[in-house]
Amino acid sequence: MDERALLLLGILKVQSQHGYQINEFIERTLGQVTDMKKPTAYAILDRLSQAGYIVVHTEQEGNRPPRKVYAITGAGERLFFDLLRAYLAQPDQPSSAGGIALMFLDDLSADERVALVRERIEKLEEQIARYERAPKHEHSLGVDVAVERQLHMLRAERDWLVSALLPRLERGAMEATGEVASAATQR
């Protein structure tokens, strides 16, 4: 089980919900913290159901189509607390596509490296601005803390890129240009 199971179990721990409610809550309230998509949520709900951590029943109101309602079981609550304790106590292992791409900077020209890192900084600035505009959730310290953490992580990456990596890449680009210029004058 992963953090997405923790998220879904945590939502169901508060109250039983149908799939649309769960996805709406994730999108509306937790969109700053997770990018889980509807198909992923339903697939995880199915796995949790098959494992006995949640139960599913169908309900129908009036002429509306039937819908599945998900509820957490006792085993699901135990799993929720086990996952909560495990993830809260362990630091995240930062791995991302952007982090992996940094490993291969040498495969790009010096100018392209600088341009792409500047683009990344601009995109981080946009993300930071979105997080700064996120409304506070007075009734839920946890959601605010998760958004705050994400904001600090984005700012830390931006600050590292601006103060450490970009100057280093710009020096490399200038040196590469200087090397080309001095090679041309030696001919």
Q: What is the pLDDT of residue 183?
A: 46
Give yes or no: residues 33 and 72 share one domain: yes
Q: What is the pLDDT of residue 36?
A: 78
Give yes or no: residues 105 and 179 share one domain: yes
**Tally of domains within the chain:** 2
Q: What is the pLDDT of residue 184?
A: 47
Give yes or no: residues 78 and 118 share one domain: no
Q: What is the pLDDT of residue 122?
A: 96
CATH code, domain carrying 82:
1.10.10.10
> pTM score > 0.85 for this model?
no
Give yes or no: residues 41 and 69 share one domain: yes
Q: What is the pLDDT of residues 6-19, one digit of tens each?
A: 989 998 998 888 88
Segments in the chain below pLDDT 70: 29-33, 93-95, 139, 179-187
Q: What is the pLDDT of residue 38?
A: 83
Q: Which of 84, 75, 80 is nearest to 9 (CA)?
A: 80
Q: What Cα–Cα distance (Å) separates residue 144 from each residue in 89, 106, 139, 149?
A: 19, 39, 9, 9
Compute the C-alpha angle 91/96/98, nearest 5°.
135
Task: For residue 165, give its domain range.
Answer: 97-185
